[in-house]
Structure formats: C-alpha cells, structure tokens
Amino acid sequence: MAHAAIWKVTANGTTTSPILRGKWVLEKFVGKPPSPPPPTSRRWSLTSAARRPSASSSINTATRLLIDATGADVKFADREVIEQIIRDARAKDCGLRTLLHAVVQSRSLLNK
C-alpha cells in the first residue's frame, strides 16, 4: 500500500491517512466495505470534543483555528495570544463557537 498512486487517490491534499487508504483498498480491490469498529474504540468528532474540553484539545484547536485565520504558523511569541483565547473561551462555555469567537477577536487577527 505504499504505491504513490494509491496515496494520491486517498489523500486530502495535504496529508494521507492509512485508515482511509485501507478502507479504499478494501472497497476497490476486495469489493467489500470494512467491518465496523469494535465497541471499545473511540470515535471523536468536533461536537464530542467540544463537550469534553481538555487543556490539550482546547490549545490544539485554538492553535489550528489561529493558523487558519491568520494564514501563518503560530510562533513562540503567540503563546500569550493562545492562552488568552483559551481563557476567554473557558470563561464562557468553552464550546467550539466560543473558541472561534475568541480567535476572531484575538490580538493576532485584529492586528493582521
């Protein structure tokens, strides 16, 4: 499954996923869909992560949103901005919408 053409077909434009690649190979070459995951596996979504915010997921989400909003990588100097975004979001409900509003109102985006 290391053939470049298969990687190209199953990539999203910037990254590849061995899970999506395996699913594609099963469906296209074997002719059957993959079996469902075992009941003990965890499936994450934005809504479930927003309901159970943890420090690392909030920071990662805030960082990703800031990168997407500014179009630039987050630098070490941006840590204060990210911490303020997290504080603003946690002061309310720490949901994804609140986090997005905090990013839009952040110093990094307003001074861009």
Judge whether residue 49 has pLDDT over 50. no
Given this model, what pLDDT does residue 47 score?
A: 47
Given this model, what pLDDT does residue 79 score?
A: 87
Predicted confidence (pLDDT) per residue in 52-108, tens digit? 555 567 788 888 888 888 888 888 888 899 889 888 888 887 778 888 888 889 888
Separation between Cα atoms, residue 97 and residue 102, nearest integer Å: 9
pTM comes to 0.49
Query: Any idea where the domains of the chain sit in the sequence?
Result: 1-43, 46-110
**Mean pLDDT on 2-22:** 70
Separation between Cα atoms, residue 21 and residue 10, nearest integer Å: 6
User: Exposure string (b/e) for 15-52, b if CB count within 10 Å is 16 or more?
Assistant: eeeeeebeebeeeeeeeeeeeeeeeeeeeeeeeeebee
Separation between Cα atoms, residue 2 and residue 8, nearest integer Å: 10
DSSP H helix total and E strand total for the chain: 7, 0
